[in-house]
Structure 1
Amino acid sequence: MTLVYQSTRDENNKVTASQAILQGLATDGGLFTPLTTPQVDLDFDQLKDASYQEVAKLVLSAFLDDFTEEELDYCINNAYDSKFDTPVIAPVVKLGNQYNLELFHGSTIAFKDMALSILPYLLTTSAKKQGVDNKIVILTATSGDTGKAAMAGFADVPGTEIIVFYPKDGVSKIQELQMTTQVGDNTHVIAIDGNFDDAQTDVKRMFNDEDLRAKLLANKTQFSSANSMNVGRLVPQVVYYVYAYAQLVKSGDIQNGDKVNFTVPTGNFGNILAAYYAKAIGVPVGKLICASNENNVLTDFFTTGTYDKKRDFKVTTSPSMDILVSSNLERLIFHLLGNSAAKTKELMESLASAGEYTLTDADQDILNLFAAGFATEEETAAEIKRVYDQSNYIEDPHTAVASAVYTSYAERTGDNTPTVIASTASPYKFPRVAVAAVTGKDSGDDFKAVEELHELSGVAIPAAVNGLETAEVRHKTVVATADMQKAVEDYLGL
């Protein structure tokens, strides 16, 4: 029986995996979500010796079950290759009493590479399967990392264009240059005078604009998404949680069957939702610890049951988490409400109109899986220094948020379950922040900080940063939020 993906907002809107990947976002504004948990044989005594690619095949064949074995092999082998600077793809590093799962060994040194290196292959394969010969336009908003990773994946892929919006003053200098120097005739990068939530809201609006959809189709063009709103982005993220557990069994740090906690720095909720699906298919998870920065809307939600976006938006040193509307939480809400599209739609409409909603009658077993906390800017910097002093290892600010939240969770609860921190970016993406936290001095310049970070950490400067300072800036467009659609239409010649 083929796995059914349904919109979180319409019980009649049901599709297969390849249809969900091709559409990206449901036309009713909802997110395609699996109605049942696929059966996966997670035998960790065997999986401990499996390669990343083999674990990926096991997980993806369960979730993307309308793909043939040959199609999946093609996608996996093209994604997880020498683009990663280690054959392990996602190493687990022991630091004191925590384990950092390094998800930044891909071509753009952030965890988005883990899924966005495979998404172009899943998407073009889906288009072929569905007999679609329209041009696929990847339309996405980024808080710093998705944009670059998506462009790196889709650059010059035949039959695709990619348009990325990012907040002009809401990303690090390295993140911005990674995007604005991107090569590829089909890549377009646009800065907006607004924050990430403004960009994401308008991208979602364009997906749901029927007039724009008709105009695109008349030009043999259609939108899809590279955001974690797309199941083709979300499902590959399940793989590394299964792989991390297998690696801990292999190293003897845990016995097969022992529970582990995962602490995930969380903005749009996709990464921690993937950990939830990993638990659903059989990874022995104790707690999923949702770590936020000072934009702590998720901490408040898990503490009170009320999601309230009516608060000041803060620009922090962990910009990929500077988000007040966590899109992927909608999928968890759907599951918390017993997969009720009607109830989920009602809450999402309340969020859009009133800026908040309160969850009642939720599935307590699911809710009890989650713990939540947030780290202030001061706590994040202190954590980078603590980990460096203790382990001679430098975390990026997002990882440090998770690390700080985990440390305070462990102290508060006495929970000593082995815990994996999702380490979502290389410190080389945020060198000034990392160096200032360790030394107490601001380098004043990102590229000076790169050299200092190299001296402090002994870690080789990654190819993603090397030469970035002198690379040609190819994308210089800045628009007001209100003009985002006009910019899209101009690029596509509509």
Structure 2
Amino acid sequence: MSTFHSTRSSNEELTSKQAIRKGIADDGGLFVTDSLGETKIDIADLAGKTYQQIALRVLSVLLDDYSEEELKQCIDEAYGSQWSDERITPVKPLGSDFVMELFNGPTCAFKDVALQILPRLMARTNEEDGDGEKIMIVTATSGDTGKAALAGFADAPGTGITVFYPQGRVSRVQELQMTTQKGSNVHVCAVEGNFDDAQSAVKEIFADKDLAERLQREHKVRLSSANSINVGRLVPQVVYYFSAYAQLLEQQVINVGDPVDFVVPTGNFGDVLAGYYAKMLGLPVRQLVVASDKNNVLFDFLTTGTYNRQRPFYETISPSMDILISSNLERMLYYMSERDPRMITYLMNDLNEWGAYEVPPELLREIRKVFATGWADEDQVREMIADCWNNNHYVIDPHTACGYFVMQQMPADPQVPRVLLSTASPYKFPRVVNEALGLDSDGTDFECMDELSRKSGTPIPPMLRDLENAEVRFRDCVEVPGMNQYVEECADKL
């Protein structure tokens, strides 16, 4: 059975259930397993398999202490009628390339793929702790994780959830999705600061041993995470890479064993890391292309080997990618450095102390064999939304547009299909999309949605349109130092 330990030490060995329940290691590292890649997934008969069948195959390898029956139950509950497409993550032609839609779930963002199943996985971890312990999910969001986590955990037995988002730095639709969330166990709070401030504070909350002891003693509450720092959030995303390959096989675009490139808009590196996990499990991934916005810290790292967060922070029209500390990079570095926790500790200490670190040149060479990169500025994002519509009659959101731009810059190889991951519905960012397409963008976000639907002939997801008249339940806002106390107050209400 696979065991999990921190990227920064191999002292603690946990099952996947324990790692999912805990969320983050005591030393601040992320949970990894050294058995990743030992078992390969047979791709010979993927064609014709449903998403649910592929999910069972992949998750059985990655979370091997869950029984087949447990995984089947989780998968059936997570990938059912709440999805608007029975393929869950359909792959569609986009000119001579392909796009994989990850936004057909209940909150219209790719985070649904993992956050519909994470609460189910977590609910099956508590049998070891039959003492009535409750889990409080605490998470910071740059826009999409928050709503997807709230939707997944709302009224889930034995859990509560507190979501922090950067005040004024998410789209109006994203904010309303969170602040109108129903459920007796949910809390939403804005933070004066950017996403990195909020995420760093959440990591400090997890590392606060005094707080953990108080919550356990006074409330019988344990903290855990729904960010992709939680391995239970990350591994379900591996499934859609295999699903994409299965669909390309089915469409006779490729034969078994043919390589595929994936172009991934990402800020926190979780979405693209899932593709790297898929490659380690035997999927013929030739290249993973990391697409950034103007906050191009990942581009600089992948081209120079230096990760430097000491740089201007830009608020862009792709807010979910406005991140300077890409947490999941730590997991990739662990595997790429031949699983050396000491090196990871040195690098993360440098990042913490100096705001930067540099990897050895030979490590960068290995990384660049797998990961390519590019980035788009604001004007290029707008141009790409228009270009994609004009040339393909397909509407993309500003995050997907970053990936679309980078894909256009790459030399195409007719032998290797390229799949662009589309991470959110354009209706989550209707004003930006309308501006890019030359449509009316002067009204409310909801009037912009109506205009976009009229002109493009695409349907508005009802869960977004209905936000106009939804009751706002949460108006809390705290400074970063007040986040600890807010979490304690929320635990008190569990």
TM-score (norm 2): 0.97
8 A Cα contact 1:155 1:187, kept in partner:
yes
Is the partner of 1:94 in helix, strand or coil?
A: strand
User: Using the alignment, how far apart are the partners of 1:310 and 1:416 within structure 2?
Assistant: 40
Aligned residue number for residue 134 of structure 1: 133
8 A Cα contact 2:17 2:125, kept in partner:
yes
The residue type paired with residue 376 of structure 1 is D
What pairs up with 1:167-182 in 2 under 5 angstroms? 167-182=166-181
Aligned residue number for residue 284 of structure 2: 284
Aligned residue number for residue 150 of structure 1: 149
Q: Deviations over 1:285-309 (max 9, x none)?
A: 1110000000000000000000000
User: Using the alignment, how far apart are the partners of 1:363 and 1:71 within structure 2?
Assistant: 40
The residue type paired with residue 401 of structure 1 is C
Is the partner of 2:124 in helix, strand or coil?
A: helix
| 1:132, distance to aligned residue in structure 2 (A) | 5.7
Aligned residue number for residue 327 of structure 1: 327
What pairs up with 1:58-73 in 2 under 5 angstroms? 58-73=57-72
TM-score (norm 1): 0.97
Aligned residue number for residue 479 of structure 2: 480
User: Using the alignment, how far apart are the partners of 1:437 and 1:89 within structure 2?
Assistant: 28
Among all aligned residue pairs of Structure 1 and Structure 2, give the percentage whose two residues are the same amino acid.
48
User: Using the alignment, how far apart are the partners of 1:347 and 1:45 within structure 2?
Assistant: 39
8 A Cα contact 2:446 2:465, kept in partner:
no
8 A Cα contact 1:38 1:62, kept in partner:
no
| 1:248, distance to aligned residue in structure 2 (A) | 0.2
User: Using the alignment, how far apart are the partners of 1:481 and 1:186 within structure 2?
Assistant: 22
8 A Cα contact 1:241 1:278, kept in partner:
yes
User: Using the alignment, how far apart are the partners of 2:294 and 2:187 within structure 1?
Assistant: 31
**Range that drifts further, 356-365 or 64-73:** 356-365
Unaligned runs of 5+ in 1: none
8 A Cα contact 1:410 1:416, kept in partner:
no
User: Using the alignment, how far apart are the partners of 2:450 and 2:39 within structure 1?
Assistant: 45
Aligned residue number for residue 12 of structure 2: 13
| 1:443, distance to aligned residue in structure 2 (A) | 3.2
User: Using the alignment, how far apart are the partners of 2:364 and 2:391 within structure 1?
Assistant: 40
Aligned residue number for residue 295 of structure 2: 295
User: Using the alignment, how far apart are the partners of 1:192 and 1:472 within structure 2?
Assistant: 21
User: Using the alignment, how far apart are the partners of 1:394 and 1:316 within structure 2?
Assistant: 19
Aligned residue number for residue 408 of structure 2: 407
1:311–1:9 Cα change, 3 Å: same
Q: Deviations over 1:72-126 (max 9, x none)?
A: 1111111000010111111001011221100000000000000000000101101
Is the partner of 2:163 in helix, strand or coil?
A: strand
Aligned residue number for residue 244 of structure 2: 244
Is the partner of 1:372 in helix, strand or coil?
A: strand
User: Using the alignment, how far apart are the partners of 1:305 and 1:82 within structure 2?
Assistant: 44
User: Using the alignment, how far apart are the partners of 2:39 and 2:445 within structure 1?
Assistant: 45
The residue type paired with residue 319 of structure 1 is P
User: Using the alignment, how far apart are the partners of 1:468 and 1:326 within structure 2?
Assistant: 31
8 A Cα contact 2:434 2:448, kept in partner:
yes
Aligned residue number for residue 314 of structure 1: 314
| 1:415, distance to aligned residue in structure 2 (A) | 7.8
Aligned residue number for residue 273 of structure 1: 273
Aligned residue number for residue 455 of structure 1: 454
User: Using the alignment, how far apart are the partners of 1:273 and 1:258 within structure 2?
Assistant: 21
What pairs up with 1:74-113 in 2 under 5 angstroms? 74-113=73-112
8 A Cα contact 1:428 1:450, kept in partner:
yes
Aligned residue number for residue 422 of structure 2: 423
User: Using the alignment, how far apart are the partners of 2:381 and 2:191 within structure 1?
Assistant: 27
Is the partner of 1:323 in helix, strand or coil?
A: coil
8 A Cα contact 2:41 2:58, kept in partner:
no
**Range that drifts further, 394-403 or 6-15:** 6-15
The residue type paired with residue 334 of structure 2 is F
| 1:345, distance to aligned residue in structure 2 (A) | 0.9
User: Using the alignment, how far apart are the partners of 1:493 and 1:130 within structure 2?
Assistant: 20
Aligned residue number for residue 117 of structure 2: 118
User: Using the alignment, how far apart are the partners of 2:341 and 2:126 within structure 1?
Assistant: 27
User: Using the alignment, how far apart are the partners of 2:35 and 2:406 within structure 1?
Assistant: 32
Aligned residue number for residue 160 of structure 1: 159
Aligned residue number for residue 352 of structure 2: 352
| 1:461, distance to aligned residue in structure 2 (A) | 1.1
The residue type paired with residue 317 of structure 1 is I
1:229–1:290 Cα change, 3 Å: same
The residue type paired with residue 373 of structure 2 is A
| 1:32, distance to aligned residue in structure 2 (A) | 0.1
Is the partner of 1:362 in helix, strand or coil?
A: helix
| 1:64, distance to aligned residue in structure 2 (A) | 0.3
Matched, 1:56 2:55: yes
Q: Deviations over 1:216-275 (max 9, x none)?
A: 110210001000000100000000000000100100111111111001001110000000
**Range that drifts further, 170-179 or 12-21:** 12-21
User: Using the alignment, how far apart are the partners of 1:42 and 1:483 within structure 2?
Assistant: 46
User: Using the alignment, how far apart are the partners of 1:103 and 1:91 within structure 2?
Assistant: 8
8 A Cα contact 1:435 1:443, kept in partner:
no
Aligned residue number for residue 201 of structure 2: 202
| 1:131, distance to aligned residue in structure 2 (A) | 4.1
User: Using the alignment, how far apart are the partners of 1:476 and 1:242 within structure 2?
Assistant: 41
User: Using the alignment, how far apart are the partners of 1:363 and 1:18 within structure 2?
Assistant: 33
Aligned residue number for residue 387 of structure 2: 386
1:3–1:367 Cα change, 3 Å: farther
Q: Deviations over 1:331-370 (max 9, x none)?
A: 0111122111111011101101100000014274443101
| 1:482, distance to aligned residue in structure 2 (A) | 1.5
Is the partner of 2:176 in helix, strand or coil?
A: helix
Q: Deviations over 1:8-65 (max 9, x none)?
A: 1112122111111000011110000121224555444421111100000000000000
Is the partner of 1:466 in helix, strand or coil?
A: helix
Aligned residue number for residue 490 of structure 1: 489
The residue type paired with residue 88 of structure 1 is R
Equivalenced residues, count:
491
What pairs up with 1:186-265 in 2 under 5 angstroms? 186-218=185-217, 219-265=219-265
Aligned residue number for residue 27 of structure 2: 28
8 A Cα contact 1:40 1:58, kept in partner:
no
8 A Cα contact 2:439 2:452, kept in partner:
no
The residue type paired with residue 293 of structure 1 is D
User: Using the alignment, how far apart are the partners of 2:132 and 2:69 within structure 1?
Assistant: 21
8 A Cα contact 1:165 1:189, kept in partner:
yes
| 1:410, distance to aligned residue in structure 2 (A) | 2.5
CA RMSD of aligned residues (A): 1.5
